[in-house]
Amino acid sequence: MNLMDRYIMGHVLRSIVLVLLVIIGLDCLMAFLDQLSNLNDFYTLSGAMSYVAWTFPRRVYEFIPMSSLVGAMLGLGMLASHSELTVMRAAGFSTARILLAVFKPVALLALGGILLGQYIAPITEQRAQSVRAVAMAGGGMVFSRAGLWHKEGSLFIHINAVESGAKLHGVTRYLFDDNKQLRESSFAQSAEYQPEGYWLLRSVEHSFLSDQDVRSESRLQERWDSGLTPELLSVVVVEPQDLSITGLYEYSQYLEAQGVNADTYQLAFWAKLLQPLSIGALVLIGVSFIFGPLRSVSVGQRIITGVVLGLVFKFGQDLLGPASSVFGFPPLLATLLPILISVAVGSLLLKRAG
C-alpha cells in the first residue's frame, strides 16, 4: 500500500466516521426526547438515558450503510473539488485503483457491522427493551398491551407477560382439532422453564370441550413440553430487525416447521446477511456520481444526493419486502434486487465517466 492509497483511505474513513457520529448523535437526541413522554415514578430521567445508551450499538449498526454512502461521497468529493482526483488520474492512478482505495475502509466498516449486528447489538437491544419495560411497569414483570401470540402446530398460545426468558405470566393455550374446532383451553398463572427442557405450569385451569358438554379441571402444577424455548422466546419479544443473523435463521426455520409464515424473519435475515453487499453497492453508486455528475458541486449538494440515494435504496427494499409475500417471490430476491440495480447503475456511470 503506497502513500496515495493511504491518503485516499484516510479521507474516506474520516468522512464516514464523522457522518456516522453526527447521524447517531442526532438520532440518540431524538430518541431521548421521545422517551421523556414516558417518564413516571419508576421510569426516571436516568432510566431514559440508560435506555438510549443500551440502544447505541443498534443505532450504529443501522446507520453504517447510510454513513458509508454519504461519507465516501464527501471524502472523495473533497478530493475532486480540489482537483486532486484529476491530478491522480493524470499521474497514472486509474479509476479502478481509486475505487479499491475507497473500498478498503468501507470493507472494514462492513465487517465491523456484521460483528456488531451478530454479537453485540441484539444483546444490548434486548437489555434496553427489558430495562425500559420493567421500569415503566413499576418493576417485576414485563407487560405488553396485547401480550404475545404464538402458534405451535394446532396449539395457539397467548402469553400475558414475560418476566425473563425463562419465566412467563398468564399463559393461555387453545387447542383445535383437524376441523378447526376448539377442543381444549387452559390458563396457567405462571410458567418456569426447567433445566430438563420443559415448562412447569402453575395454578392451571383446564376446560375440555366436546359436542355434548364442557368439563373443567384444576391442577396445581403441570408439565408442558414445547418447542418454545427461552432462546426462541427472546426472539419473539424483539423486533426482527434487532435480532442476530443466527437468531433470525433459527426462528424462521422453527416457524416453517410449525407451518407459520416466516417471510418477515427471512427478509430480516437476508437484509442482515447481505448488508456488506448493500454497503458496497451504495458506495459504488455514490462514487460513480463523484466521477460523473457531482464532480464539481458543493458539499451540501453531495450530502443531499447521498441521503436521497440512501433513502431510495431503503424504500426499495422496504417495498419489495411486503411485495415478496403478496406476489410469492423469494425474500432473497426482494433483498438482492436493489443491490443488483445499484451495482448496474454505478458501473454504467463509471464506464461513461471513463
Q: What is the residue-averaged pLDDT of the chain?
A: 87
Categorize the per-residue pLDDT at 140 as very low, low, confident or very high, splitting at 50, 70 and 90.
very low
In a domain? residue 38:
yes
Cβ atoms of 48 and 36 within 8 Å: the answer is yes
DSSP assignment of 266-295 equals HHHHHHHHTHHHHHHHHHHHHHHHHHTTTT
Residues 122 and 188 in one domain: no
Whether residue 87 is predicted with pLDDT greater than 80 in this model: the reply is yes
Categorize the per-residue pLDDT at 137 as very low, low, confident or very high, splitting at 50, 70 and 90.
low
Residue written as grid cell 475502509: 105
In a domain? residue 255:
no
Task: Measure the CA–CA gap between 346 and 217, rounded to whole angstroms.
Answer: 68
pLDDT in tens, 18-73: 999 999 999 999 999 999 988 888 889 999 999 999 999 999 999 999 999 999 99
Quick one: average pLDDT of 249-254? 87
Residues 18 and 132 in one domain: yes
Whether residue 114 is predicted with pLDDT greater than 90 in this model: the reply is yes
pLDDT in tens, 279-311: 999 999 988 888 876 666 676 787 788 888 998
CA angle at 316 for the pair 314 and 322, rounded to the nearest 5°: 105
* Grid cell in block for residue 221: 402444577
**What per-residue confidence (pLDDT) applies to 146?**
55
Residues 8 and 70 in one domain: yes
Range of the domain at 345: 3-136+263-353
**What per-residue confidence (pLDDT) applies to 145?**
47
In b/e form, how buried is each residue of 319-341, taking b as 16+ CB within 10 angstroms? ebbeebeeeeeebeebbbbbbee
**What per-residue confidence (pLDDT) applies to 65?**
95
Whether residue 142 is predicted with pLDDT greater than 70 in this model: the reply is no
Residues 123 and 7 in one domain: yes
Q: How many domains does the chain have?
A: 2
Percent of the chain with pLDDT strictly greater than 70: 92
Residues 118 and 175 in one domain: no
Task: Measure the CA–CA gap between 335 and 319, rounded to whole angstroms.
Answer: 10
Quick one: average pLDDT of 258-274? 89
* Grid cell in block for residue 172: 393461555
Task: Measure the CA–CA gap between 183 and 210, rounded to whole angstroms.
Answer: 7
Domain end residue (candidates: 179, 209, 226) = 226
Domain end residue (candidates: 226, 246, 280) = 226
Task: Report the half-sphere exposure of 318 (CA within 13 A, side-chain side).
Answer: 7
In a domain? residue 302:
yes
| CA quadruple 57, 58, 60, 61: dihedral sign | positive
Cβ atoms of 179 and 154 within 8 Å: the answer is no
Task: Measure the CA–CA gap between 231 and 11, rounded to whole angstroms.
Answer: 43
Within 10 Å of residue 143's Cβ, how many Cβ atoms? 18
Residues 13 and 118 in one domain: yes
CA gyration radius, the chain: 26
- Long-range CB contacts (within 8 A, 24+) of 42-46: 42/135, 42/136, 42/137, 42/138, 42/139, 43/132, 43/135, 43/136, 44/135
**What per-residue confidence (pLDDT) applies to 256?**
85
**What per-residue confidence (pLDDT) applies to 138?**
56
In a domain? residue 202:
yes
Of 239 and 219, more confident: 219
| CA quadruple 110, 114, 116, 121: dihedral sign | positive
CA distances from 310 to 64, 247, 313 (A): 11, 27, 5
* Grid cell in block for residue 267: 427478509
Categorize the per-residue pLDDT at 99 as very low, low, confident or very high, splitting at 50, 70 and 90.
very high
pLDDT in tens, 158-186: 988 776 668 888 899 999 998 888 999 99
Distance spanning both ends of the chain, measured CA to CA: 24
In a domain? residue 238:
no
**What per-residue confidence (pLDDT) applies to 1?**
60
In a domain? residue 268:
yes
The strand pairing partners of 159, in sequence order, are 148, 171
Task: Measure the CA–CA gap between 322 and 257, rounded to whole angstroms.
Answer: 22
SS3 content of the chain, % helix, strand, coil (to 5): 65, 20, 20
Quick one: average pLDDT of 104-118? 95
Residues 208 and 320 in one domain: no
Of 125 and 225, more confident: 225
pLDDT in tens, 297-354: 676 787 788 888 998 998 888 888 888 888 888 999 999 999 999 999 999 988 887 6
Q: Which of 18-27, 75-84, 225-234 has the highest mean pLDDT?
A: 18-27
Task: Measure the CA–CA gap between 238 and 235, rounded to whole angstroms.
Answer: 6
In a domain? residue 300:
yes
In a domain? residue 249:
no
Task: Measure the CA–CA gap between 14 and 155, rounded to whole angstroms.
Answer: 54
Instruction: Give the list of residues 6+ apart from residue 243 with CB closer than 8 angstroms, or none.
Output: 122, 235, 251, 265, 268
Residues 222 and 168 in one domain: yes
The identity of residue 139, as a single letter, is G
**What per-residue confidence (pLDDT) applies to 25?**
96
Domain end residue (candidates: 181, 208, 226) = 226
**What per-residue confidence (pLDDT) applies to 128?**
84
